[in-house]
């Protein structure tokens, strides 16, 4: 696909858009981590504009400009997958695992010559898929996978109350013979969900060896239960868990372990629907993308104990109330872009740390699910506190549901045309 020249994104100069007159109520329902209005929920007020980002001082270094990128099929000989949602490389075995939203996990050679995918786990019988955003949403391997063979899943459980589950299973076999034992499940965490949307679903081990888990606000238009600003619930948060035993526990150095009424598992809160967070493998920084309500998509650099604003704010704009909101104590996004012109829901990516494309090193990449646009921003400048603007680096036309990173630091796009694409620099 043809990559466009890098263009500066003018999100902060555009007025926020509200719901378009006469738009279908399910105009955004195809997004993998987003259904903006739950059935029966009224439309919510939308802000009129986002305040500008802080102006850098004259002495502040200017952020770098990323190169244009392209995407090409990573495994052209493989079958297509139905709604691929997560992919991990198995260390030292020459294969990758790919999770489909319906509950299946496939194994195939991590090679451009791969021509066959085997079923490693069929979890469809235990996975609820009634809602568009429900299903198998997260897959990660234990840092000591070579020794313990532990695989971690985040999924919406079938049967009983609507709930999200974080579970550990054990793999057997190696390489293309790798299989995940369905009878080995150990449930580490269960969280009841009031609606079918805003499930989050990312699970990743941090550089500290703890498991981080993203949960949305529980769904419904405008966060009707107020979960985003409620430390007494796990919803609307990124959690940090010790999973060395079951059930999962809160590490004693989590930021809210001594806060009365707060859930000690919470690492940061104030999220609407964090759809994909990742760690910069070089700095350890945690980057998250949070899907907006009607007007603004946002990218956050997540700090322990941070409050990322929802539902007081959407992006950098007031949401409730629509003007004059109290921003004290809130962490503003690193970047925003408007939910219009074909955009509908942000998909978080990675900071590129591979060796194949030196000009891309140190840039955080993210995308929009509906438009297929990919942007990049200077992660190294952002972590120094320098205001950054995202640059449009590709127009793919794909429904980008997720990104993936292999052991060499190369990046991939998972799209709902059923294919995995490798990111390249022309």
Q: What is 42-91 written as a DSSP string?
A: PPPP--SBPPPPPPPPTTSPPPPPPPP-EEEESSTTSPP-SSEEEEEEET
Asked whether residue 105 is assigned to any structural domain, the reply reads yes
312, two tokens = 């007081």
Which pLDDT value is given to residue 283? 98
Weakest-pLDDT range from 36-50, 95-109, 265-279: 36-50
Asked whether residue 1 is assigned to any structural domain, the reply reads no
Calpha distance 146→407 (Å, rounded): 14
Q: Is the pLDDT of residue 285 over 70?
A: yes
Beta-bridged to residue 89, according to DSSP, are 96
Which pLDDT value is given to residue 34? 41
For the chain, percent of residues with pLDDT exceeding 70: 86
Predicted confidence band of residue 3 (pLDDT cuts 50, 70, 90): very low
Mean pLDDT, to the nearest integer, of 299-322?
98
β-pair type (286-290, 274-279):
antiparallel
Asked whether residue 393 is assigned to any structural domain, the reply reads yes
pTM across the whole model? 0.88
Sign, CA torsion 179/185/190/195: positive
Q: How many CA atoms lie within 13 A of 386 on its CB side?
A: 17
CATH number at residue 145: 2.120.10.30
Which pLDDT value is given to residue 61? 77
Number of structural domains (the chain) is 1
Instruction: For residue 126, give the DSSP letter.
Output: G
Which pLDDT value is given to residue 52? 54
* Residue bearing tokens 């925003």: 336
Q: Is the pLDDT of residue 185 over 90?
A: yes
112, two tokens = 């451009």
Mean pLDDT, to the nearest integer, of 91-105?
98
Which pLDDT value is given to residue 59? 58
β-pair type (411-415, 420-424):
antiparallel
Asked whether residue 24 is assigned to any structural domain, the reply reads no
Q: What is the mean pLDDT of the chain?
A: 89
Q: Which domain holds residue 221?
A: 7-18+43-424
Asked whether residue 23 is assigned to any structural domain, the reply reads no
Strand residues in 202-257 grouped as ranges (E): 203-205, 211-215, 237-241
Asked whether residue 322 is assigned to any structural domain, the reply reads yes
Which of 86, 198, 185, 221 has its CA nearest to residue 134?
Answer: 198
Predicted confidence band of residue 53 (pLDDT cuts 50, 70, 90): low
């Amino acid at each position: 696909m043809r990559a466009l020249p890098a263009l500066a994104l003018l999100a902060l100069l555009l007025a926020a858009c509200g719901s378009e007159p006469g738009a279908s109520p399910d105009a955004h329902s195809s997004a993998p981590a987003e259904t903006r209005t739950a059935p029966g929920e009224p439309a919510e007020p939308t802000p009129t504009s986002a305040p500008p980002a802080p102006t850098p001082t004259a002495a502040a270094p200017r952020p770098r400009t990323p190169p244009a990128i392209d995407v090409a099929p990573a495994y052209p000989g493989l079958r297509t997958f139905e709604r691929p949602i997560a992919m991990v490389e198995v260390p030292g075995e020459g294969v990758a695992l790919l999770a489909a939203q319906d509950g299946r996990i496939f194994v195939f050679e991590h090679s451009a010559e791969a021509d066959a995918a085997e079923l490693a786990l069929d979890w469809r019988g235990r996975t609820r898929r009634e809602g568009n955003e429900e299903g198998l949403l997260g897959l990660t391997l234990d840092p000591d996978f070579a020794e313990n063979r532990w695989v971690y899943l985040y999924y919406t459980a079938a049967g009983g109350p609507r709930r999200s589950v974080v579970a550990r299973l054990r793999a057997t076999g190696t390489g293309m013979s790798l299989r995940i034992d369905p009878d080995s499940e150990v449930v580490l965490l269960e969280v009841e969900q009031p609606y079918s949307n805003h499930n989050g679903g990312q699970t990743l081990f941090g550089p500290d060896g703890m498991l981080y888990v993203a949960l949305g606000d529980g769904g419904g238009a405008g966060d009707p239960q107020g979960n985003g600003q409620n430390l007494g619930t796990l919803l609307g948060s990124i959690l940090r868990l010790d999973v060395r035993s079951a059930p999962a526990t809160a590490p004693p150095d989590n930021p809210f372990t001594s806060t009365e009424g707060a859930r000690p598992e919470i690492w940061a809160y104030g999220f609407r629907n964090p759809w994909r967070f990742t760690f910069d493998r070089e700095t350890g920084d945690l980057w998250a993308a949070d899907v907006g309500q009607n007007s603004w998509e946002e990218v956050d650099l997540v700090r322990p104990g941070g409050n990322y604003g929802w539902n007081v704010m959407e992006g950098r704009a007031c949401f409730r109330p629509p003007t004059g909101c109290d921003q004290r104590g809130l962490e503003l996004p690193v970047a925003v872009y408007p939910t219009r012109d074909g955009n509908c829901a942000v998909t978080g990516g990675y900071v590129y740390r591979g060796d194949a494309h030196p000009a891309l090193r140190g840039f955080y990449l993210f995308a929009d699910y509906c438009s297929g646009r990919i942007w990049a921003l200077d992660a190294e400048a952002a972590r120094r506190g320098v205001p950054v603007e995202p640059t449009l680096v590709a127009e793919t036309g794909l429904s980008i549901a997720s990104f993936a990173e292999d052991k060499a630091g190369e990046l991939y796009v998972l799209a709902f045309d059923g294919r995995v694409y490798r990111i390249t620099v022309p």
